[in-house]
């Protein structure tokens, strides 16, 4: 074609295109261009059915983060992957070891580059049932939020999320895993929020109890307790009504979760004024001075495995813990009203320990679904 014919041809094409476009209904936008690099991968998430233990309450699952097999699988990978840390040396699992019921056995946990945190690592068990906040001080309202914080903590993983997300995008597997879990169409859609959702899904599956002697004896009635276990149970629950001391444990550690999920000052430190607590705990979150020195009442499931005890790991043994509670703890203006001295002899303390050990569930810590996928 000569130059004039070429121009005429393009003008004609343009007019025809304009004419065709003007024939489209005004209210219908053209579909967006399909640029997703993951769209070719099948997205058909499979619902994940959480096990229901007898007497356990139903778990509250956020509507925007339904449980799926793919989400749990991704969350498990992220939980065990040191990609979340600045130098790829640590993962969530570094401070949450299976053999320690997903605590770490340290008084104060160590982060990357040798930093030491100011609290003991909390055991991850039945965390999906928590309702009043995560961490010792409840500073995260949801598991989804909680999962994000250690990554950017300067002592813990000391990474930043934009960098982690870039590592996910470059990773050979993660883009397809995020696609499978959340239906993203392009790896540019990977976010820290989706990572948090996946980790939260995995953590919700970590339900403990069914493999314990307690469950066998006191829930399924498939075995009888020893005399020591039975006496410990009665003191723990005030079931003897006078013939044995009321050890007052159940107020804060009621079955089946063995925690009331609340925050209390359990008399660890003696201070004249609530402003004098070294660690404000819950008070740092609420800015309510009377909450200073209060910490979450942890679950007692697998308590045999989660030493050392308390938010600062000050007690090495269950015997030390029971001695503390029997003493009533140290006085402070906001020591919990439930803290009072209890008269327990050595035999009764040992019986309480026997009962507490019925809460050990080794099937939980050995569950292959909770081990590293790498």
Binding site for other proteins (CB under 8 A): 52, 54-61, 131, 237-239, 241, 248, 250-251, 254-256, 260, 274, 286, 288-291, 331, 333-334, 336-340
**DSSP β-bridge partners for residue 309:** 315
In whole angstroms, how close is the CB of 291 to other proteins at the nearest point? 7
- Cβ proximity to other proteins, 59 vs 98, nearer residue: 59
Minimum distance of other proteins from residue 338's CB (angstroms): 6
Pair 295, 136: CB distance under 8 Å = yes
Q: Can you say whether residue 233 is alpha, beta or left, with left for phi > 0 and alpha for psi between -120 and 50 degrees?
A: alpha
Place of tokens 């233990």: 53
Least separation in angstroms between residue 60's CB and other proteins is: 4
| In the complex, minimum distance from the CB of residue 163 to other proteins, in angstroms, rounded to a whole number | 36
Closer of 268 and 305 to other proteins (Cβ) = 268
220 CB contacts (<8 Å, ≥6 apart)?
Answer: 54
**Closer to other proteins by Cβ: residue 101 or 235:** 235
Q: At what angle do helices 161-170 and 192-204 cross, to 10 degrees?
A: 80
The alpha carbons of the chain give a radius of gyration, in whole angstroms, of: 27
Nearer to other proteins, 10 or 331 (CB): 331
**By C-alpha distance, which of 147, 153, 150 is closest to 204?**
147
Beta carbon of residue 200, minimum distance to other proteins (angstroms, whole number):
15
Is 204:61 a contact under the CB 8 Å cutoff?
yes
Q: Which is nearer to other proteins, 178 or 218 (CB)?
A: 218
CA neighbor of 204 nearest in space, from 374, 372, 373, 369:
369
Looking at beta carbons only, is 149 or 254 nearer to other proteins?
A: 254
Give the shortest CB-64-to-other proteins separation in angstroms.
15
Taking each helix axis from N to C end, the angle separating 174-182 and 161-170, rounded to the nearest 10 degrees, works out to: 100
Tokens 């605590």 locate to 103
Alpha-carbon span 293 to 195, nearest angstrom: 32
CB-nearer residue toward other proteins: 34 or 343: 343
Minimum distance of other proteins from residue 339's CB (angstroms): 8
């Amino acid at each position: 074609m000569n130059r004039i014919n070429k121009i005429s041809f393009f003008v004609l094409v343009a007019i025809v295109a304009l004419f065709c476009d003007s024939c489209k209904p005004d209210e219908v936008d053209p579909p967006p261009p399909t640029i997703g690099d993951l769209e070719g991968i099948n997205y058909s998430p499979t619902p994940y059915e959480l096990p229901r233990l007898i007497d356990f309450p139903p778990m509250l699952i956020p509507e925007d983060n339904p449980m799926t097999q793919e989400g749990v699988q991704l969350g498990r990978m992220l939980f065990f992957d040191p990609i979340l840390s600045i130098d790829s040396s640590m993962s969530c699992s570094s401070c949450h070891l299976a053999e320690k019921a997903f605590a770490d056995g340290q008084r104060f946990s160590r982060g990357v580059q040798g930093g030491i945190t100011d609290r003991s690592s909390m055991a991850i068990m039945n965390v999906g049932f928590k309702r009043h906040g995560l961490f010792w001080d409840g500073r995260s309202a949801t598991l989804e939020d909680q999962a994000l914080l250690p990554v950017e903590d300067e002592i813990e993983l000391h990474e930043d999320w934009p960098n982690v997300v870039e590592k996910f995008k470059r990773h050979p597997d993660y883009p397809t895993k995020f696609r499978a879990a959340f239906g993203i169409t392009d790896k540019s859609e990977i976010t820290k929020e989706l990572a948090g959702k996946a980790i939260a899904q995995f953590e919700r599956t970590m339900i403990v109890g069914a493999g314990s002697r307690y469950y066998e004896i006191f829930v399924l009635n498939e075995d009888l307790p020893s005399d020591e276990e039975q006496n410990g149970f009665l003191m723990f629950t005030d079931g003897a009504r006078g013939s044995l001391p009321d050890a007052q444990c159940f107020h804060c550690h009621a079955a089946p979760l063995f925690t009331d999920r609340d925050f209390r000052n359990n008399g660890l430190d003696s201070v004249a004024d609530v402003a004098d607590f070294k660690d404000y705990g819950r008070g740092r979150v609420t800015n309510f001075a009377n909450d200073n020195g209060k910490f979450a009442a942890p679950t007692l499931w697998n308590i045999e495995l989660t030493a050392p005890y308390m938010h600062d790991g000050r007690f090495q043994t269950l015997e030390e813990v029971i001695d503390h509670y029997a003493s009533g703890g140290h006085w402070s203006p906001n020591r919990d009203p439930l803290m009072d001295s209890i008269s327990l002899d050595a035999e009764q303390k040992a019986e309480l320990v026997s009962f507490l050990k019925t809460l050990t569930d080794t099937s939980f810590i050995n569950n292959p679904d909770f081990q590293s996928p790498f």
